[in-house]
Amino acid sequence: MQTSKRIQTSSLTIATLFCVVCPIIGYLKIGLPPVIIVGGSAVLALFFWYFTYLKNPTEPNVILPLFILTVAGLQIHIIEEYLSGFGPAMSRLFNIPWSERSFLMIFALVGPTIYTLTILGLYKRVPLAGFIAWFIFIGPGVAEFTHFIFPVLQPAIEPTNINSISQQIKGTQIDNMHNYYYKVTGRYYFAGMYTAILPMVPGIYAIYRLTKKHKPIK
């Protein structure tokens, strides 16, 4: 069933605001990396969503399993990120104030709430739910490959110190910042790297499947 013009316009407006406001908030609260990763994923999601789901929402029996599998993989991945200190490790890598509390609030509490509501929205073919789904397919689905790049990047804070450190960054106390720099540790690993592929596989497949399925409305 095709989405009405009024709902298309309002949904597009809200999604566009998301693509602008969230990266700005991320930049002000944390720094540039969220703008590049989150903002870039959001813009790509907006593009794919506009040409697929917005005008003619995908059938729930097609998109829902793909979304649920991607989110399930993402949640397992977040467990590894938490246990290995992803937020503080990113803080040390890029000199940004990303505390463990902030990480848990966003990815362990707010995120699952949004995913649950998105599942209901996809079932009801709500256009904005499709945008969130595309954002998850492209963000965790594709952007998780950055985990395999981070080990070769020199940390901005004490790159040659192999020990975990704690200090204030831009007025925020960040504790237990691990150093995963390969040249120092001799181990090719970064927080969350082992399970990064779990949301990538269903996410990338979802992009392929939904793009292939799309047929322009005449």
- pLDDT for res 217: 46
Helices (H) and strands (E) in the chain, counts: 10, 2
pLDDT attached to residue 38: 81
Question: How high is the pLDDT of residue 92?
Answer: 96
Q: Could you say which residues of the chain have pLDDT below 70?
A: 1, 215-218
Q: What is the pLDDT of residue 218?
A: 43
Q: What is the pLDDT of residue 47?
A: 95
pLDDT value for 29: 80
3-class DSSP assignment, residue 167:
strand
Give residue-wise pLDDT tens across range 17-29.
999 988 888 888 8
Alpha helices (H) in the chain, listed in sequence order:
5-29, 32-34, 40-51, 60-84, 86-94, 100-103, 111-123, 127-142, 182-185, 197-213
For the chain, how long is the longest CA-to-CA vector? 61
- Output the pLDDT for position 114: 94
Residue 1 confidence (pLDDT): 66
Q: Give tens-digit pLDDT for 83-119.
A: 999 999 999 999 999 889 988 998 889 999 999 999 9
Cβ atoms of residues 48 and 161 within 8 Å: no
Beta carbons of 191 and 181 less than 8 angstroms apart:
no
